Structure formats: structure tokens, C-alpha cells
Structure 1
Amino acid sequence: MTTAPRIVVAGSANMDLVGLTPRLPQPGETVLGDDFVMMAGGKGANQATAAARAGGVAVFLGAIGSDAFGVTLSSRLAAAGVDTTHVRTSYGVSGVAVIMVDRAGENAIVVAPGANNSFTGLTVAEEAVIAAGDVLLCQQEIPVSTVTAACRAARAGGTRTILNAAPARELPADLLANVDLLVVNQSEAVAITGTPEPDVAGLLALVPRVVLTLGAAGARYAERGGPDEHVPAFRVDAADTTAAGDAFTGALAVAWGEGRDLTDAVRWANAAGAACARQIGASNALPTRAEIEQLYGT
């Protein structure tokens, strides 16, 4: 492709409030922390940022609140190169994730969806944005009815769809019928098929293509009547894997939008996930295209 692919992301946006502490408090206990960080988050916003940094033209569809967090979320997405023209502002609070992390890396997280729950239905303008995209990328932190409507609009407009089924939730038949590529980790795969171990054949009975992420072991790509391959990970000194999955998925959307063979697209996405894991943080750790290419070429 001579032009950057247009990646439309329909998903969540949260303000992440991260407190670093020597140890996690017990119920009723107050522990003095070491540090505090506030950053844009939510799987939708993270994957839109990842796609933009990976070289795509990223457009975000979602909802933020009318509070100060909403202003900050919108400005940080725009600063990352994401088109926020069609982001909705809902009266009330934005989505918030309150995260406590101890020195051993253990965490405790409370997510209040806020405005994300108001992202219901699609406007004619939003459907047109999806139809104009090369790839639609969705997750499951917004109402499943909206995810279904977005994938339906993509199919009608000839736009390819990727569903990152995280967190694991019920997948309606109407949604699955409009998904071209399903991206899941091992626990999500088990939740979807109801089997003791990830069942890729069972997933392929639902959708035509599957990427099963395997953490440090890389990923597995399979399609109906086609390849079923293990794609190894890139070896790095990992500092923080918090946003590695979002880096992977955003980069995968860009690579597929560029017309790469999907096995190669998964390898390139593996490089993005590994590059992200070398840095501490979430959205701030999402790698640039140059960082991905440097690792991919090794």
C-alpha cells in the first residue's frame, strides 16, 4: 500500500489512576504509597493509540464524560495522533480505572465504566466512518450491542473486522457472523469455548480466522481451511507487560490494513508487543513504528 491504512477503533476510554505502593492494603487498611501516575487508558483508547503509533490513520469512536477527565482523555488521544472528531461527550463522569500496584508487580483494579456505558447504538455518521475504514477494531469494554452494530456496519461497508474479545463476555451469534478475525488470549479462548484448554478448532467453528496470543511464547494464527502456525515471540528484557496486548492488537490491525499476509502481520504485531513490554507504563509505553521495525528486523 502507498497510503497508511485507516483503522477505525470502536471501544472504551478510561482515565487510569495508578498508585504505586510497597504492598497492597488489606480491607480497612491505609498504606502510604510510593508514587502516583495518571494516564489515558481503556482498551479502545490504547489500541487506537497503538495503531496510530504503528503508522495507521487511527479514528476513535467512543464516549467520554463531561468532566475534567474527559477533556484530558480527548486531548491525550489527539496528541497521540488519533482522530477524535467523532468521540461522543456524555453528561457525567468518564470511565475510570483505579489501580494499585505493589513492588512485586501484583495489582488490584477497580474499573468504573462511566461514559463507556453510554456508547449505545451508532449514528449514521459513525456508520459512515466505519464503512470508510480499511479495518474496524473492537473490544468488549463497551456494550456488546454496540460492538455488534459496529461489526455489522463494517460488513455492510466492506471493511474488515477484528474483535479482541477482552474481557471475555457472551459473544452473540449476530456479532460472530460479522467478525473476520478473532484475537483472544488463552483464558479468553477457554471462556468462549467452555473447554478446559484453548480450543482453536472450536473457535474456528465460530469465526473464519483466529489469533491466540501466548504471552512470552508468541502467538498462534489459524484460519479455516488454511494455515495453523505458531509465530514465536521476540526475546526482550520485559519491564512491564501491562499494555503489550493492546500494542499487539493495534499493530496487527495496521499490518493487516497494509495488506500483509496474516502470518507475517502476527509476527510484526509480536514485535510491537515485545517493544512495548520493554518499557514501564501503559499508553505511554506503546511503541512507534520505528521501534517496531527495529525489533522486527532482528
Structure 2
Amino acid sequence: MAASARVLVFGSLNVDSTSYVESFPAPGETILSRGFQVALGGKGSNQAVAAHVAGAAVELVARVGADASGDFALATLERLGVPTDAIARETDAPTGVAQITVADSGENTIIVTGGANLALTRAVVDAERDRIAAAALVLTQGELPIATIDRLASVADEAGVRFVLNLAPPAGVASETLAVADPLVVNEHEANAVGIGTDVPGATLEEWRVVAASAAGRVARSIVVTLGAAGAVAASAEGAWSVAAPSVTAVDTTGAGDGFTGTLAAFLAEGRPLDEALRIAVAAGALAVLGRGTVDSYAPRDVVLEAAGRGAPDGGAAPA
């Protein structure tokens, strides 16, 4: 990979507390878990790790508390090989936390408390202009304050740096922010939140490809829509593509979308075209559901590339 293929992630950094259950409790019901795990989380850190595992040179701008959870998060990133020099500690806010429940079906519920992540403000973006200008690609997510996301999009665009926005969860960012996203990465529900595909509920992969094509250049410079076990679609000025996901038995879907997005960013940063990066990212997302947890479930670059290269003919990219 070229040395210039550097991914700069502005993102949330949480510690995940995950309970594994047979099925989700009904309102007011108390159930017993089958297991419990504490692990690194947050969309920003998850995607930074995924991009790093995919081979990108990654920097993560984030905030954690001056607490034991912050110690744990930094130690985990260092173990995984992600630099931590752009992560500051906040003395008046705890490290962000995600409370996760995973059912035997592999589905999950997640409640996020922002904590120190909310200290990642517009002023931090301005202070990191040099890092932004030196990056091949800047990636952020919907878990940060809206004003921060908007400022980051503006600064990246001014610097001529590719800006990738994973609008998860949906946030009311400015239309100008969406317009410079290349791509805007959303799932079906997040796409609906920004007016994409609202008239095609329950659409097929091919129908979503057409929807993405109609939104590319109008809502954002390019669009990627992830569709879970069905796969994903993408569209830009160059065309529109769909990639069907391989059939796998999901163990834990937590963080699979972040694995997809981080991998997508890594391969875009090294100059792969959107359709090729999409194919590789779909393979990464499918592999991520085969293990429990988030960052430790991300497959290494060579494994992902092998999986992407041996997809069935009908699971490949279909140009418009």
C-alpha cells in the first residue's frame, strides 16, 4: 500500500458492556444472561481498527475519560496496533459506554452514552487541520456532535481531502455536509432518514441499486447503502453497483457494519474504485459476524481479499 494511503478517523471511542441472551426481554421483564464481555467499542474506534486491519495507515482523533475504562480503551488500541497519540483524556467526563444485548439469533440492541466523546468539538477539528490536510481520506460517524461533523466536512472539503460519512446513527447534519460525502454510508433506515429510498420499503438489492443511483450527485457525491444479510449497493458519477453478501451463519452482528465501513475506507484510501472497495467491504462485513464481539472479529486483509475474490458470479458487482 502507498504510504500516502492514510485514513484519519474522527470518531467515538467507547467501552462496550455486552450481555448474551437467548432472546431479548419484553418491557418490564428480567432475564438472565448466558455470558458477559467488556470490550473496546464506539463506531470511531471500531472503524479505525477495521481500516488498520485492512492495511491502512490509521490515525484516530478521539476522547476518553481519565478513568479505568479510558485506560482499558487505550491499552486495547495499542495492543491492536492503532496509534493513540491523537486521543486526549477528559478529566470531567467519563469514557463513553455502549450497553449491548446480543440474542442467540445474532441480532443486537445497543444503548450508547456519549461521555467524553462529546468533547470532540468544532475547536478540535480546527486544531487538527494539519492532520486532515495530510490524510488521503477522512472518516467520521453520526455519534459525534452535529456541529463537529459539519465542521469536519467543511475543513476536509477545503483541504481537498476525501470525506466519508457513516451517518450512523442518523443525525441532522447540514445538507452541505451530505453533499461533500464521498461516499455517504448508510443502512436502509439511515438512508430513509435523509430522504433516500423512502418510497421503496422492503426493496430488493437491485431496487436499492437504482435508488442509490438516483441519489448519487444529488444528496451526496457518492452513496453506499448497506442491507445486512442481503449485501450492499453503491453509486457514484461512474455508475451503480450491487454486491450480494455470502450466506453465513451469524454469531454476533455487533460491529459488522463498522467492519464494513472501515474496510471500505481503507481500500478507497489506497485508490481502489468504489465498486471494488464495495465488494471487499461486503466480504469483510460477512466475516465479522462469524465471531463474538467487535474489533476482535475483524478478519485480516489477506483473508478478506480471498473471500472477496472467490464470491459466486451472482454475488459480484453489477454495473449499471
TM-score of the alignment, normalized to the shorter chain, above 0.5: yes
Whole-Å separation in 1 of the counterparts to 2:59 and 2:176: 24
Select the residue among 196, 217, 220 that pairs with 2:230.
217
Q: Given that residues 215 and 223 in structure 2 are in contact (C-alpha distance below 8 angstroms), is that contact kept between their aligned partners in structure 1?
A: no
Give the TM-score normalised by structure 1. Answer: 0.92
The Cα of 1:88 is off from its aligned counterpart by 2.0
The Cα of 1:259 is off from its aligned counterpart by 0.9
Gaps of 5+ in 2: 201-207, 311-320
The Cα of 1:172 is off from its aligned counterpart by 0.6
Mark the CA change 1:75 to 1:258 in structure 2 (over 3 Å): closer, same or farther. same
The Cα of 1:165 is off from its aligned counterpart by 0.9
Partner of 1:196: 199
Whole-Å separation in 2 of the counterparts to 1:13 and 1:286: 17
Give the TM-score normalised by structure 2. Answer: 0.86
Q: Given that residues 105 and 250 in structure 2 are in contact (C-alpha distance below 8 angstroms), is that contact kept between their aligned partners in structure 1?
A: no
Which residue identity lines up with residue 39 of structure 1 in the other structure?
A: A
Mark the CA change 1:211 to 1:65 in structure 2 (over 3 Å): closer, same or farther. same
1:116 aligns with 2:126: no
Whole-Å separation in 2 of the counterparts to 1:236 and 1:152: 40
1:283 aligns with 2:279: no
Q: Given that residues 260 and 282 in structure 2 are in contact (C-alpha distance below 8 angstroms), is that contact kept between their aligned partners in structure 1?
A: yes
Q: Given that residues 18 and 38 in structure 2 are in contact (C-alpha distance below 8 angstroms), is that contact kept between their aligned partners in structure 1?
A: yes
1:85-119, Cα deviation, whole Å (9 max, x unpaired): 11121122111111233434454432211111121
Whole-Å separation in 2 of the counterparts to 1:231 and 1:29: 40
The Cα of 1:169 is off from its aligned counterpart by 1.7
Partner of 1:228: 240
- Identity across matched positions, percent: 38
Gaps of 5+ in 1: none
1:15-34, Cα deviation, whole Å (9 max, x unpaired): 10012234544555543332
Whole-Å separation in 2 of the counterparts to 1:237 and 1:104: 9
Which residue identity lines up with residue 98 of structure 2 in the other structure?
A: A
Select the residue among 135, 146, 150 that pairs with 2:148.
146
Whole-Å separation in 2 of the counterparts to 1:43 and 1:17: 14
Q: Given that residues 219 and 233 in structure 1 are in contact (C-alpha distance below 8 angstroms), is that contact kept between their aligned partners in structure 2?
A: yes
The Cα of 1:48 is off from its aligned counterpart by 0.2
The Cα of 1:256 is off from its aligned counterpart by 0.8
Q: Given that residues 189 and 203 in structure 1 are in contact (C-alpha distance below 8 angstroms), is that contact kept between their aligned partners in structure 2?
A: no
Q: Count residues in correspondence.
A: 297
1:156 aligns with 2:169: no
User: RMSD of aligned C-alpha atoms?
Assistant: 2.0
Which residue identity lines up with residue 8 of structure 2 in the other structure?
A: V
